[in-house]
């Protein structure tokens, strides 16, 4: 009996049919959902904690995105004022405007002739009569240049400014960038903070799911022992707990998405007012399908990972005796 | 088949469970294992089901050397060894049916086959009408029979029982032992640990007696 001597003996029959495998996964997945729904209070509370932990960075991230979009809308209102030399005639200014228009980065362009400028000044300043005593119009022609969206960031706008300033017809070129720069810096800082927060809260989600699964494993210790006793593999024992973690994560993601959606809806009014103040047509967009997918995906992944860690640490300790 | 070659088991802390035990039980054979409390009966059965591993010597079950069996193969080994305990080890929150189905579910048997096999096992132990009840609604003898049905439902070649009649009155004990003998009639190898010497002396089967972790007496294969 060589088989007996070598000790290997007949090989064990293992089930390797992929269809059966898939079917079994589907069954365990549904069974896990059923088990969770049979203790709705506990499940909801755990999922709500996860939801809040996911909603915080997700909500802030959404806000930062919106602020960036908003500042993009403001970038559009950035304009460069080119004050032309006094000896430039209107027709020369007109030709210059046409030439500049073909430059890359130059979007809309408006020429204000000295006469128009004086008119406007007269109208707005209230100095009407007083200005009549001037022999000569002291105002220069002005070209207002709106950079194209691609040239609206502070760096690009500055680059365009330098290019325009170098023109011989231009006496003075101005661009007010300070506040655009500040806004960019602030959103960048907040974005960084959001990532740190997201990392910390992801860790929190892992710990919460891990701890929940650990307690569940302890509660079901006798069941686990007996199931191992009758020939269940570790994969079989592990599976329901992993699906529990996955469901917790998915539920948490869903709750997070709802929380973010509600918050955005509440912010809709104030934001509309704010962007109105800045002459912006910007509107806060509602929560998107993509963000739902992202939160479900993130939550599910974190839940699964947390469960995996708990199962890896605690399931191997349980052996029948 | 089960074979022990000079097997010792020393538990952590130095307790000797077995001290150099040898015996062989052929395929299709049935034997009772007896001996004083602490003699090592449960230890011997645990080594066969790989609930514990031997510290010395060789354990062979179904032509396999258990010393060389990898941990990941233990589940597959246990599917070939039905185990029955004095305390039944049933799941209180599952019906009789679900308890008996557990080994089938764990080994990935399909739905319809599970129903058929569980009913067949219930029929064998005479509990067909109780499949929807929960273990605590049953008498001690009935619970033990659920445990037996769970052990035989996968038709393992080897069945082990550790004091299966420990809590039962003489009449029920005899019924259970006769049930085991029926399994043996269809070729299952059985090893049953028990204190009930009076009962097993009337059953005309091989009796192995342990003393202080050693095989003290072996009546040999029954005539
Ligand atoms: N898990 C354990 N840790 C340490 N020592 C153990 C363990 N299990 C059993 N032992 C010791 O091994 C020896 C044999 O125990 P075992 O349970 O095999 O005896 P037994 O014959 O089944 O006794 P009983 O008839 O009382 O069930 C005893 O001395 C016992 O104390
Ligand atoms: Mg014992």
User: Based on the domain organization, do A193 and A274 belong to the same domain?
Assistant: yes
Residue pairs between chains A and B whose CB atoms are closer than 8 Å:
78
Of B46, B49, B106, the CB nearest to A236: B106
Each residue's pLDDT tens digit, A233-252: 999 999 999 999 999 999 99
What is the rounded distance in angstroms from the CA atom of residue B200 to the CA atom of residue B205?
A: 7
Pocket test for ligand 1, best of B12, B20, B43, B45 (most atoms within 8 A of CB): B43
Q: Which residue of B has its CA nearest to A13?
A: B76
User: Ion ligand 2 — residues with CB under 5 Å?
Assistant: B 42
What is the maximal distance between C-alpha atoms in chain B? 49
Regarding whether A273 and A305 lie in a shared domain, the answer is yes
Shortest distance, CA B112 to any CA of chain A (angstroms): 13
Phi and psi at residue A46, to the nearest 5°:
-60, -50
Is A113 part of any domain?
A: yes
Residue A300, domain member (yes or no): yes
Sheet strands side by side (includes B214-218): B81-85, B158-162, B189-193, B30-35, B206-211, B214-218
* Mean pLDDT of all residues in A37-56: 93
- Inter-chain residue contact A233 with B75, CB threshold 8 Å: yes
Of A175, A193, A218, which residue sits at a domain end? A175
Residue of B106, B147, B156 to mutate, interface with A, max A Cβ within 10 Å: B106
What's the CA gap between A110 and B141, in Å, rounded? 100
Q: A136, A160, A175 — which closes off a domain?
A: A175
**May I ask the CATH architecture of the domain B1-80+156-223?**
3-Layer(aba) Sandwich (3.40)
A196 with A302, same domain?
yes
H or E stretch at A142: strand A142-147
Pocket of ligand 1 (CB under 6 A): B 11, 13, 15, 17, 35, 37-43
- Whether residue A18 is predicted with pLDDT greater than 90 in this model: the reply is no
Taking contacts as CB-CB distances below 8 angstroms, the residues of chain A near B107 are 15, 231-232
Residue B42 confidence (pLDDT) above 90:
yes
- Write the DSSP symbol of residue A148: P
- CB contact under 8 Å between B64 and A9, yes or no, is yes
Return phi, psi of residue B156, to 5°: -75, 150
Q: How far is residue B105's CA from residue B214's CA, in Å, rounded to a whole number?
A: 38
Assess whether A278 and A149 both reside in one domain. no
Say whether the ipTM exceeds 0.90: yes
Number of domains present in the structure of chain A? 2
Read off the pLDDT of residues A183-234 as tens digits, 9 standing for 90 and up.
Answer: 778 878 888 888 898 899 999 999 999 999 999 999 999 999 999 999 999 9
Residue A2 is assigned to a structural domain of this protein: no
Residue A297 lies in a domain: yes
What percent of chain A stands above pLDDT 70? 87
Name every residue in A having a CB less than 8 A away from some CB of B: 1, 3-4, 7-10, 12-15, 20, 24, 222-223, 225-234, 236, 319-321
Whether residue A277 is found in the same domain as residue A160: no
Residue A145 belongs to what domain range? Answer: 79-175
Give the residue whose CA is nearest to atom 10 of ligand 1.
B17
Q: Token pair for residue A315? A: 């399931």
Q: How much is the pLDDT for B111?
A: 85
Tokens at B191, concatenated: 């090893």
Looking at residue A286, its pLDDT comes to 59
Q: Average pLDDT in the B152-171 region?
A: 93
Q: Do residues A53 and A204 make contact, with C-beta atoms less than 8 angstroms apart? A: yes
User: For residue A2, is pLDDT > 50?
Assistant: no
Q: Is A43 left (phi over 0), alpha (psi -120 to 50) or beta?
A: alpha
DSSP output for B156-171 = -SEEEEESTTTTS-HH
User: Partners of A80 in the beta sheet?
Assistant: A145
Question: What is the DSSP secondary structure assignment for residue B39, as one 8-state letter?
Answer: S
Phi, psi of A162 (to 5 degrees): -60, -40
Same domain, A155 and A302: no
Residue of chain A whose alpha carbon sits nearest to that of B59: A7
A174-177: list long-range contacts, CB under 8 Å, 24+ apart. Answer: A174/A80, A174/A81, A174/A83, A175/A78, A175/A79, A175/A80, A175/A81, A176/A78, A177/A78
Domain-embedded: residue A47: yes
Q: How far apart are CA A312 and CA B21, in angstroms?
A: 36
Q: Give residue A135's pLDDT.
A: 76
Which H/E stretch holds residue A25? Answer: helix A18-37
**Strands B2-10 and B56-61, sheet pairing:** antiparallel
CA of B74 to the centre of ligand 2 (A): 22
**Above 50 in pLDDT, residue A148?**
yes
Please give, rounded to a whole number of angstroms, the shortest distance from the CA of A306 to a CA of chain B.
24
State which of A146, A175, A204 marks the end of a domain.
Answer: A175
A110 shares its domain with A231 = no
Q: Which atom of ligand 1 approaches the CA of B195 most closely? A: 25
By DSSP bridging, strand B189-193 and strand B30-35 are parallel
What is the band of A265 on the pLDDT scale with cuts at 50, 70, 90? Answer: confident
Output phi, psi for A288, to 5 deg.
-100, 170
Task: Give me the pLDDT at residue A110, please.
Answer: 87
Sorted by where each begins, the domain ranges of chain B are 1-80+156-223, 90-155
Say if CB B42 and CB B34 are below 8 A apart.
no
Note the pLDDT tens digit of each residue in B85-128. 999 999 999 999 999 999 999 988 888 999 999 999 999 999 99
Same domain as A309, residue A197: yes
Q: Are A293 and A190 within one domain?
A: yes
Ligand approaching nearest to the C-alpha of B43: 1
User: Quick one: average pLDDT of B23-27?
Assistant: 95
Q: What are phi and psi of A109, to 5 degrees?
A: -145, 130
Cβ–Cβ < 8 Å for A163, A102:
no
Please classify residue B121 by burial: count the beta carbons closer than 10 Å to its beta carbon, then call 0-12 exposed, 13-18 middle and 19+ buried: buried
Same domain, A22 and A56: yes
Tell me which chain B residues have a C-beta less than 8 angstroms from the C-beta of A230.
Answer: 78-79, 83, 102-103, 106, 150
Ligand found nearest the CA of B210: 1
Widest CA span of chain A, in angstroms? 126
**Which tokens belong to B85?**
């305990």
Kind plus residue range of the DSSP H or E element containing B200: helix B197-201
Q: Are residues A195 and A291 in the same domain?
A: yes
Question: Is the Cα torsion angle B92, B96, B99, B105 positive or negative in sign?
Answer: negative
Q: From the candidates A223, A229, A236, which should be mutated to test the interface with B, based on the most B CB atoms within 10 A?
A: A229
CA distance B185 to B197: 22
A306: CB partners within 8 A, 6+ apart: A205, A206, A207, A208, A209, A210, A213, A245, A249
Q: Does one domain contain both A53 and A67?
A: yes
Residues sharing a CB contact under 8 Å with residue A83, sequence separation 6 or more, in sequence order:
A140, A141, A142, A170, A171, A172, A173, A174
Q: What is the pLDDT of residue A287?
A: 63
Residue A43 predicted with pLDDT over 70: yes
Q: How many alpha carbons fall within 13 Å on the CB side of residue A21?
A: 6
Contact in structure between B33 and B215 (CB atoms under 8 Å): no
In this structure, what CATH number is given to the domain that contains residue A84? 3.30.70.3040
Chain centroid to CA A132: 57
Provide the pLDDT for residue B187.
Answer: 94
């Amino acid at each position: 009996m060589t088989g007996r001597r070598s000790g290997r003996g007949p090989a064990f029959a293992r089930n390797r049919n992929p269809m059966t495998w898939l079917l079994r996964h589907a069954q365990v997945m549904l069974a896990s959902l059923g088990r969770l729904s049979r203790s709705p209070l506990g499940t909801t509370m755990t999922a709500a904690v996860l939801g809040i932990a996911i909603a915080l960075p997700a909500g802030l991230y959404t806000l930062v995105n919106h602020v960036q979009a908003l500042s993009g809308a403001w970038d559009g209102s950035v304009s460069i004022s080119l004050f032309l030399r006094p000896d430039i005639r209107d027709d020369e200014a007109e030709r210059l405007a046409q030439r500049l228009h073909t430059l890359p980065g130059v979007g809309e362009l408006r020429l204000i002739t000295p006469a128009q400028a004086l008119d406007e000044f007269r109208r707005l300043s209230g100095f009407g009569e007083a200005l009549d005593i001037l022999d000569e119009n002291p105002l220069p022609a002005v070209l207002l240049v709106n950079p194209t969206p691609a040239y609206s960031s502070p760096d690009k706008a500055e680059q365009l400014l330098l290019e325009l300033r170098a023109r011989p017809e231009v006496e003075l070129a101005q661009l007010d960038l300070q506040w655009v720069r500040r806004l960019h810096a602030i959103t960048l800082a907040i974005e960084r903070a959001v990532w740190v927060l997201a990392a910390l809260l992801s860790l929190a989600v892992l710990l919460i799911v891990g701890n929940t699964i650990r307690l569940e494993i302890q509660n079901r210790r006798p069941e686990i022992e007996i199931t191992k006793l009758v020939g269940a593999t570790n994969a079989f024992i592990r599976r329901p707990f992993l699906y529990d973690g996955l469901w917790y994560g998915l539920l948490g993601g869903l709750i997070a998405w709802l929380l973010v959606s509600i918050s955005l809806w509440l912010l809709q009014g104030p934001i509309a007012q704010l962007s109105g103040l800045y002459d912006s047509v910007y509107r806060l967009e509602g929560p998107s399908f993509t963000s739902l997918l992202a939160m479900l995906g993130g939550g599910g992944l974190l839940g699964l990972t947390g469960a995996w860690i708990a199962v890896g640490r605690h399931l191997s300790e349980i052996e029948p005796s | 088949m089960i074979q022990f070659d000079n097997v010792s088991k020393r538990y952590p802390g130095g307790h000797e469970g077995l001290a150099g035990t040898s015996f062989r039980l052929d395929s299709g054979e049935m034997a009772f294992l007896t001996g004083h409390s602490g003699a090592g009966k449960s230890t011997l059965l645990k080594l066969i089901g790989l609930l514990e591993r031997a510290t010395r010597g060789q354990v062979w079950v179904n032509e396999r050397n258990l010393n060389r069996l990898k941990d990941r193969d233990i589940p597959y080994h246990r599917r070939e060894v039905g185990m029955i305990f004095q305390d039944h080890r049933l799941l209180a929150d599952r019906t009789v049916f679900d308890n008996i189905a557990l080994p089938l579910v764990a080994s990935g048997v399909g739905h319809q086959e599970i129903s058929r096999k569980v009913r067949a096992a219930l029929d064998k132990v005479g509990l067909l009408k109780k499949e929807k009840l929960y273990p605590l609604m049953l008498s001690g003898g009935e619970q033990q029979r659920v445990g037996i049905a769970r052990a035989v439902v996968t038709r393992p070649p080897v069945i082990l029982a550790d004091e299966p009649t420990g809590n039962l009155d003489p009449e029920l004990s005899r019924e259970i032992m006769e049930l085991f003998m029926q399994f043996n009639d269809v070729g299952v190898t059985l090893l049953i640990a028990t204190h009930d010497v009076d009962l097993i002396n009337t059953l005309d089967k091989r009796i192995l007696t342990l003393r202080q972790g050693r095989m003290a007496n072996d009546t040999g294969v029954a005539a």
